[in-house]
Structure 1
Amino acid sequence: MGFMVRTAVILAGGKGTRLRPLTLSLPKPLVPVGNLPLLHHILKLLENDGFEKVIVIVNYMGDKIREYISKIGHSLELEIRIPNINSLDTADGVRKCGSLIDEDFIVIMGDILTNIDLSSFIKFHEKRGGIASIALVETDNPLGYGVVVLSDDSKISLFLEKPHSVELYLMRFMYSKHRLPRAFYANLVNTGIYAFKREILDILDDNPELMDWGRHVFPYLVENNYTINGWIAQGYWKDIGVLKQYLEANIDLLNSEVRPLKPLGHKENGIWLDDGVVIEKGAKIIPPIAVGKDVLIEKGAVVGPYAILGNKCYVGKGAKIANSVAWDCVGIGKDALVKGAILASNVKLGENVRIDEEVVIGEGVFINSNMLIERGKIIYPLRKVLGVKVIR
């Protein structure tokens, strides 16, 4: 490895409230993207970029994350540790696992899908020598993210966490009015990927009120004249913490936009297949799609484009699914239609069901035959939708 930083901390403890109802049954780092948990993609990224030690900080449904790591950890060339701590926020979690960190390190949020070149980021951090560096990406809409004022020499002189539109306007006006020697990049946002000198742990210990990176730590560092550098990243990056972007991330992975990360299975002509898939004669497959283990696609069914079927799914005769994600053990009945939707595990659709765009159905929901679930409807887990009626 050509650089010294070998340790990464993944923050995987959030409740994922913006992803409900999906995260009522599964922690956000384990939601599948291309039939692999998001956490798997993050670990592969770290492995590919030469990291050796990974600390995963868990909280909400932490036992499920521990169980997953115990199953797959041996297949990765990483030393993975999950400390027994009760973290109250993002920076607090790193503070409480400080005894496991003996060198400079990076922090990466557990709700992003990215192929950003972390080795280049670390080289930038080590060359610039500040206490912290933040990876930044350009976005059309910076609202909802941390934005920065970045100087010509890449130093961050102001950090504003999730500003309102009025705040962005006033900041831009202020820097333009006074013609200060800084550029305000309103379209550069915080990716949730940070590099730190180990000294940051001492600052956290001395200031127990600093709980969150964006709301507390970075503003504190700027106000106290610590050097924070901003690195403008290239490559793919998406925060999958909201339902719309979660679906987009799955489609982007199918489109090979996140290479070298990829869906589960082996690829044949734009189709990612796992073992035990049965595609009956007369079924139509429109790439790109990804299909998990032991899936049955009956004759007359149409799967794709941009469909992801988890393990043990069933697509009945004449049924169609496109631009959608179905988790494990989803059943799609005869002549049903699913377009632009997300179906959690064990969802069952009766015959001739219509699922419209932007619908999200939680785990274990049963939709009776001949039902129409209209655009944007969210159905929470373990419910039965019976009778012939329109769900608005």
Structure 2
Amino acid sequence: MVIESPRSIYIHIPFCSHKCHYCDFTAYVVGGQPVDEYLDALDEEMAWTVQETPPETIDTIFIGGGTPTVLDVKQMERLLRSIRRYFPNWSDQMEYTVEANPGTTEKEKLAVMMAGGVNRISFGAQTFRSDLLSNIGRVHSVADIGQSVETARQVGIDNISLDLMFGLPQQSVADMEEAIREGLALKPEHFSVYSLKVEEGTVFHTKLLQGKLPLPSEEDELMMYQLTRERLQTAGYSQYEVSNFAHPGKESRHNATYWKNNAYYGLGAGAHGYTRGVRHVNVKGVGEYIRRCAKGRPIAETLDVSRMEAMENEMILGLRLAEGVQEAHFYDRFGIPLDGVFGKVLTQLQNKNLLENEMGRWFLTEKGLLFGNDVFSAFLGEGIDHGVGR
């Protein structure tokens, strides 16, 4: 199996102005948090990391959260400067994304971001109905969404992504149609559109257990997804991944790192990384993260990814993409034919009209797109073990 050096970086800023009711990420309300000490620790983690795994040319950087744009101007400038110091070699086609909540991106901060190399912003719009925003714990207004997009374009950041959600409590199909219409009016280059997943430990999970979470029916949720696909594709956005749509050439190259099962650095509290065939997750607590970074890398857990697991991940992640999985690429990466490992499950899924094969390229059918989780789970434990082990 080919072991790649990372060409992508994920950096986690675990602070928010307010934690959303559906969020199970490593995120803490910023008030009273040691933000500057956290940035000190992040700088230390970068130093430890590049010493252990020296960087090559970097193609993508993604700063996520939390809400990275809760950092003030000086903190943002400092963070971007640290990143450039430890990862100085960038490709000519560098994609540099920062996640942002509408209303947290004043012009001065955006100008600092652009000067630091940021050329793409992902705004968490989620919905364009004020009461729905409030119900899910968002603190921005509908007006903030358009204003933030406009301000970003004013400073010269011309690659904008909008996040939308469907399947929200009390959300109707008409609400989703309105959200798409309002989103299209802002002319972003990219949309990420996700269904709500109620995760343990969230406010929504507690309400669900109490019978106080009025979710749409499965039929309505499916209609919202199909409506999203229809409207966005009609408007010129290609569905290049199960939940992502873009104008040609504006697909998220950083997220493709994950879907293509490639290596990436993961930095920050609770961040995940994948380097040299090993996945790791950092400690989550801010205080513990700061303490650990003073002595070394703040890793809570590591997992050696076996060859078989890597092959399963190749299928589960790769089939999320419209381009699917190429037999030739699979062979180049693992040195074994795809059908020699997953021939049985591929045939079963093809017979069920969930997968299609075209010139050595396996991809989801229209039916498979709607039952993607069933397709992905089918590969777990189904590979023929040619003495490679797990």
Please tell me the TM-score bracket, short chain as reference: under 0.3
Larger helix percent: 2
- Structure 2-normalised TM-score? 0.26
Higher Cα radius of gyration: 1
Give the TM-score normalised by the residue count of structure 1.
Answer: 0.26
Higher RCO by CA contacts (8 Å cutoff, separation 6 or greater):
2
